[in-house]
Amino acid sequence: MWRKSGTWLGLMLLLSVLSGCNVTESTFARTASNAGSAFAAAATTLTYAHEDKITYAYAASSFVNFQSELSGTDQALTAQSAVDTRTLHHLLTLYKPAIQVINAPCLSGACNWRSQIEVLNRASQALLKAGNS
Amino acid sequence: MKKQWLSIALGVVTAIGGFLDAGTVATAGEAGAKFGLGLIWAILAATLAVMLLVEMVGRFTAVSKKTYADAIREDFGFRFYLLPLTSELIAESLLLAAEIGGVAIALSLFTGIPWHTLFPFVALFIWILAWRAPFDLIENGPALLGLVTLSFLAGIVALGGIPAHLLPTLWHPNFQRGSVADYLYLVAAIIGSTISPYLLYFYSSGAREERWSRRSLVLNRVTAIVGMGFGSIGSMALLVLGAIVLQPLQISSNTLGELGLAMAKPFGITGSFLFASALFATCLGAALEVLLAVSYNIAQGFGWEWGENKKPVEAARFNLVMTIFLLIAAAIGLIGIDPLQLALFASTVIALFLPISLSPFLILMNDPQYLGNKTNGRFTNIAVICILLLAFLVALVSLPLEIITGGG
């Protein structure tokens, strides 16, 4: 009984030490960083697809995974918001067009893929900055 | 003599090709993308541990003619045996789901078809292979294909080698604000994914399938040390590629496809296909090994007839367990969790249970009734104690880290 309690106490202590000593990110920072990283990966994937470094199939498959990873990020950011309303609004303003690119990436040469890459990069940079601040 | 050297060469080659799996790919790629070269030491430490453990379990089986699971049940009793078995069932069902997902993602990268759609077909393909294919094909086929992982080394060379600015991250990793927990989490996941107990049960059962004896001890030692040693090169090369290509782009490798971008940069489409092929081969090989390892473990522990070279009707319960376990893993995979996240989670769960699976080693490997004059020496016992201490430490921190990092 005492040993069991001791183990749990140890685990809780470790948990609180790790979370209290700034060795771990807040949930908001983690969500923002992960989304920023995913948008950066999407921008690189789109660039490589148009530079013929990866196939259409490879890019299409990757974007399906980006969709799963990024959908609902706006709600998560709003729910966990640890920043002021203006910053949150700025992030969401950049997120909305970027998620539209994720849902409908321009993988052929018939549309403006360069502007899509810019949209993704802008969202990525803002989210990464919010995650690190 | 010539035949023995051929066996040794094949053993080494399959160990190299079969070293990586979804867990090692996920952890190595993410480690490089987030911390540069700062986690190579964890891969090296885990490789050293797995070399020693594989050598020991192979020696044990070759000399005693008993598998690891057999011996645990015989020496510690049925009640104790249920402990490692239960931990295996929990951890490996998650890992098997991740491996099947890894194969599905690899095929998805080739075809563009979403991996969720391919998942049930991959599960069926794995079941057919495990049901009908002989042991040699399962052991050697995917592992030989897995040699494509050595192309990761070529990728580093084509990118001009390791840039000088990355070298200091070997001893001073890039810690961003609040990323210490991430770092520790990845240490636990790397150790859990490299020292997977399924490997020991599979290796031990494989030695019985191939009727190893004392004459196989050289083959065992060379396979364990040289094969596993070189096998870790693929894992380290992936980490380095992540550090060279993905880290500057601020891509933290949250999906398996992102890792392929690191190979596409130097080699273009060929590079992305090499990555997808490597992912396919390593995850397929690992899925078959995990599936068989669990089925072997249960059949051996319960005293049932077992053997991949036997017809299903001759080892009916062994094959039934295999089918049920695959169905459980497929059900987990069909929930739709990304295979990379699942692989990372499985690696931490494995790390949590490592002490349970590895503790019997210390006693069994010193029992002359099993090993005669081939028991462990002082150095090997000290090494096992160190590995167990490491396993206990990792088990202690893996759960809190999983909670506070949200799974990396």
Interval B40-69: pLDDT, tens: 999 999 999 999 999 999 999 999 999 999
Residue listed under structure tokens 């929990």: B90
pLDDT tier at B13, thresholds 50, 70, 90:
low
Polymer length in residues for chain A: 133
Q: Nearest to residue B149, comparing CAs of B51, B281, B289, B242?
A: B281
Task: Give the one of B114, B176, B261 whose C-beta lies nearest to A48's C-beta.
Answer: B261
Of B254, B257, B401, the CB nearest to A37: B254
pLDDT for B136 equals 82
From A41, A56, A60, residue closest to B258, measured CB to CB: A41
Tokens of A94: 């950049």
Kindly report the pTM of this predicted structure.
Answer: 0.90
For residue A1, pLDDT over 50 is answered with no
Burial of B72 (0-12, 13-18, 19+ CB in 10 A): buried
A57 to chain B: closest CA residue: B112
DSSP-based three-state secondary structure for B142:
helix
Q: What is the DSSP string of B232-243?
A: HHHHHHHHHHII
pLDDT band at B300 (very low <50, low <70, confident <90, very high): very high
Nearest to B351 by CA among B402, B406, B302: B402
CA distances from A107 to A46, A56, B81 (A): 7, 7, 54
CA distances from B283 to A16, B200, B313, B398 (A): 37, 17, 28, 24
Closest to A28 (Cα-Cα) out of A74, A66, A61: A74
- Confidence check: pLDDT of B138 > 90: no
Q: What mean pLDDT comes out for the span B383-400?
A: 84
How many whole angstroms separate alpha carbon A13 and alpha carbon B251?
A: 33
Q: For residue A61, give the nearest of B108, B178, B251 by CB distance.
A: B108
Q: How far apart are CA B120 and CA A71, in angstroms?
A: 24
Please give the share of chain B, as a percent, with pLDDT higher than 70.
Answer: 95
Residue pair A60/B115 in contact by the 8 Å Cβ criterion: no
Cα torsion angle, B219, B222, B223, B224, sign? positive
- Record: contact A34-B276, CB cut-off 8 A: no
Q: Amino acid identity, residue A130?
A: A
Q: CA nearest B185 in A: which residue?
A: A24
State chain B's mean pLDDT as an integer: 89
Residues in contact with A117: Cβ distance below 8 Å, sequence separation at least 6, in sequence order: A43, A46, A47
Which member of B109, B184, B404 has the closest CB to residue A19?
Answer: B404
Averaged confidence pLDDT in chain A: 84
Contacts of B160 by beta carbon, 8 Å cutoff, 6+ apart: none
φ/ψ of B338, rounded to 5, equals -60, 130
Distance (Å) from the alpha carbon of B296 to chain A's nearest alpha carbon: 33
Q: Which residues of B touch A44 (CB under 8 A)?
A: 249, 251, 261
Residue B193, CA atoms < 13 Å, CB-side half-sphere:
37
The C-alpha atoms of residue B114 and residue A61 are separated, in whole angstroms, by 6
For the segment A12-27, the average pLDDT, to the nearest whole number, is: 56
Interface test with A, best of B110, B272, B394 (most A CBs within 10 A): B272
**Distance (Å) from the C-alpha of residue B408 to the closest C-alpha of chain A?**
9
Q: What residues of chain B lie within 8 A of the CB of A38, using their CB?
A: 254-255
Mean pLDDT score, B359-373: 92
CB contact under 8 A, B109 and A58: yes
Q: How far apart are CA B37 and CA B262, in angstroms?
A: 15
Answer whether B282's CB lies under 8 Å from B256's CB.
no
Tokens of residue B135, six digits: 């042991």
Residues of A with CB under 8 A from a CB of B: 10-11, 14-15, 18-19, 22-27, 29-30, 33-34, 36-38, 40-41, 44-45, 48, 52-58, 60-62, 64-66, 68-69, 124, 128, 132
In Å, how far is B255's CA from the nearest CA of chain A?
A: 7
Q: Whose CA is closest to B230, among B283, B152, B139, B341?
A: B152
Residue B1's CB: how many other CB atoms inside 10 A? 5
